[in-house]
Structures are given as structure tokens and as C-alpha cells.
Amino acid sequence: PQGVLDASPGLQLDVLDKLHNQSVLTAALFDKEMMCELVKLAALMQLKRFPVGHALNDRIMAAAFFEPSTRTRLSFESAMLHLGGKTISVADAKTTGVAKGESLRDIGQMFNSYADIVAVRHTEQSAIQELCEYLRIPLINGGNGSDEHPTQALADWYALLKWRPEIAFGELDEKFRLNIGIIGTPGNMRTVKSFLMLALLFHKNINHITIFSEMADPLGDDIRELVKSSPISIDFSQNLQQSLEYLDVIYMNAIAFLGDGYRFFGDAFSLNAESKLKDDTVILHPLARGEELSVDLDETEHNLYFNQADGAVWIRQALLLAVFGRLRDLVPAEYLA
Ligand code: CP
């Protein structure tokens, strides 16, 4: 994280003020300025530059996961606990009134009564939007069906910006601009879609994005216009293995979810320690992994995915502090712009 701080000026709290009391439904909420400030704040906390253990000691987060999760729920809870907050949790929809047919309207009313913020994961894309209609507290989308996972994208980019702070805080010479490969389909993979949306913010330092999938058109309607209007050149390919030699960053996902396509293409979209990666290529994967990412890459320099999962706590802490508007009394003046 020190590289982020060395490359950037002090925190601009007025930028983070825009997140105060905001629900986080989509990665479209974040602009480049906000990303830079969140990343700097996360880096300061990861480096333990000032105490934060009391910041949210009067706040409760409900972590309501109606679909399984390891990282998102636990890292949100860990983030809240680091900040002195408290958590209440749903880890399995079957243990709630959902099993008896309870409506989102009534569940939303309970969130209002029992918590000050709610992080929600749901199998249905529309559930998040519907819950918001009944909520008086901010909602953070922890993954809604095949739509979005905005805070995963924050964790993805926190890892990448620690790896190369210049992507956000500098201007790379043309020959050093990133070539990014994304394995998956933004149209129906939520982490891929949110990652791509944030990638577009850093277009000045990205040379090219290739989306690898078995589909002729992996973009969904939602993101098609956004991609078309971006200055980054984006193309589509089925030839991952032949393209490895020019990729600086590879974003993978559990492509087993592609179902028949994965079985048909076998290991065409998989990586292992024998894959012909450049020496300095980094691999991101939101995890949980399937066969596409071999464990023999874990001990290599290509592994940025554990850093990505580890950093999720700090970037989620930064987001929670901004949404609760608790920064002005917390961050010492020496760290402010
Ligand atoms: N990255 C991610 O969303 O992981 P979980 O499904 O474990 O939350």
C-alpha cells in the first residue's frame, strides 16, 4: 500500500463526502476521483497510520446473504468489526422468513429496525432494487444475480492499484499501458461486469482489453453502450492461450458457471504454472475458484488473487466510513490534501 501513498497527494474528503448515506448498487456510482480517494484511505488503514477501532462503535451492519458467500460476507463483517461496529448476519436464506415465503417488503422493514446499513447478496437481480424501495438505510450490493458486484470491483482495483499505482495516479508511457485480458462474459457474470466498468475509468493508462469467452457477443445490453463510448479498444477472442504473451493483467472468474461452454472448450480458458504467461503478468480472480485456476500458480509472482481477497477488508472499511460519513473526525490533518 505504501506505493499508493507515495504516488498520490493527501486525501480529499470532499470527494468521499459524495458517498455519505449512499446506497451502493452499481459500480457506476464510482468515478475515477472517488476510486483514488477510497484506495488512498484503504492504504492508510492497511498501514495502520491512525486508529480506527472506535469509528463506527454506534453502528450496526446487517450482512444479509441469501446466496452463499465466503469472502464478501466475512470481509464486510471483518471491516465493520475493525471499525468498532457490530454486525448481525444472515448466512443462509433458509434460516430466515424467506423459507416461509416472507416478502422483501417485510424483510426490508426489519433491516430498517435492526441495522444502520445492510449488505445484501441475492440470487435475483431485481431483489436489490426492490429492497431499496422499502429501506431508509443504505444498502450495499454484495452481488445480485448475474448483474453486479460493485464492492468486489473495488477490491479488484485496490489490488491492481497497489501493484501499479501509476494506473490511477500517473500517466504511463504508451508502451507501458496495460493490456488486460478478461476471461468471462460481462453480460452474465457480475464480477466481470463490475470489474470492466471500473476498468473504463482508467482508460488513459489502459492500452487494450480483450474479452475471452466462448460467446460471440459476451457483452450485455447494459454495458454495451458504455463500452462503445470508451476510448479503450476492446475486442473479443476465443484464443486465450495464443494471447497470453501480450497480457499484463488477466481477470478470471469461475468459468465453470459458463456450463456447457466450459466443458466444450476444455482447458482453453484455464491457467496453470505451465501457461505461457509473461514473467510480470498478474492474475486476478474473485474466487471461489474452479478448475480454471490451478493451485500451482499460488506460489508464483502471477498470484495477485490472494492480495485481492486480503485487501477487500481495507477497501470495504474505506467504503463504510465514507457511507457513514465518519471521516472528518477520524483522519488526522497530516493525511489530508
Ligand atoms: N468474491 C466473492 O464474491 O466471493 P464470495 O462468493 O465468497 O463472497
Q: Are residues 126 and 158 in the same domain?
A: no
Q: Are residues 299 and 321 in the same domain?
A: no
Walk along the chain (337 residues) and give the pLDDT tens digit of each residue: 999 999 999 999 999 999 999 999 999 999 999 999 999 999 999 999 999 999 999 999 999 999 999 999 999 999 999 999 999 999 999 999 888 999 999 999 999 999 999 999 999 999 999 999 999 999 999 999 999 999 999 999 999 999 999 999 999 999 999 999 999 989 989 999 999 999 999 999 999 999 998 887 888 888 899 888 999 999 999 999 999 999 999 999 986 445 555 555 667 889 999 999 999 999 999 999 988 899 999 999 999 999 999 999 999 999 999 999 999 999 999 999 9
Q: Are residues 90 and 198 in the same domain?
A: no
Residue 118's domain is classified under what CATH number?
Answer: 3.40.50.1370
**Structural domains in the chain (count):** 2
> Which pLDDT score is estimated for 215?
81
What is the best residue among 66, 72, 191 to mutate for testing ligand 1's pocket, by most ligand atoms within 8 Å of CB? 72
Protein residue with its CA nearest to atom 6 in ligand 1: 69
> Which pLDDT score is estimated for 222?
85
CB-side neighbour CA atoms (13 Å) of 128:
27
Q: Are residues 277 and 325 in the same domain?
A: no
pTM above 0.90, yes or no: yes
Spatial separation of the C-alpha atoms in residues 83 and 320, rounded to whole Å: 9
What is the best residue among 190, 287, 306, 310 to mutate for testing ligand 1's pocket, by most ligand atoms within 8 Å of CB? 287
> Which pLDDT score is estimated for 257?
47
Q: Are residues 158 and 301 in the same domain?
A: yes
> Which pLDDT score is estimated for 261?
55
Looking up cell 454495451 gives 224
Q: Are residues 104 and 172 in the same domain?
A: no
Binding pocket residue ranges, ligand 1, CB within 6 Å: 69-72, 143, 149, 152, 286-288
Spatial separation of the C-alpha atoms in residues 175 and 164, rounded to whole Å: 15
3-state secondary structure 99-137: HHCCCHHHHHHHHHHHCCEEEEEECCHHHHHHHHHHCCC
Q: Are residues 98 and 187 in the same domain?
A: no
Alpha carbon of 117 to ligand 1 centroid (Å) = 19
Spatial separation of the C-alpha atoms in residues 249 and 182, rounded to whole Å: 8
Q: Are residues 172 and 190 in the same domain?
A: yes
Q: Are residues 110 and 199 in the same domain?
A: no
Protein residue with its CA nearest to atom 3 in ligand 1: 72
Q: Are residues 50 and 80 in the same domain?
A: yes
Q: Are residues 262 and 317 in the same domain?
A: no
Its domain, for residue 282, covers 152-309
Q: Are residues 298 and 324 in the same domain?
A: no
> Which pLDDT score is estimated for 263?
57
Compute the Cα dihedral for 211, 213, 216, 220 and give only its sign. Answer: negative
Q: Can you tell me whether residue 50 is helix, strand or coil?
A: coil
ipTM of this predicted structure: 0.98
End-to-end CA distance of the chain: 18
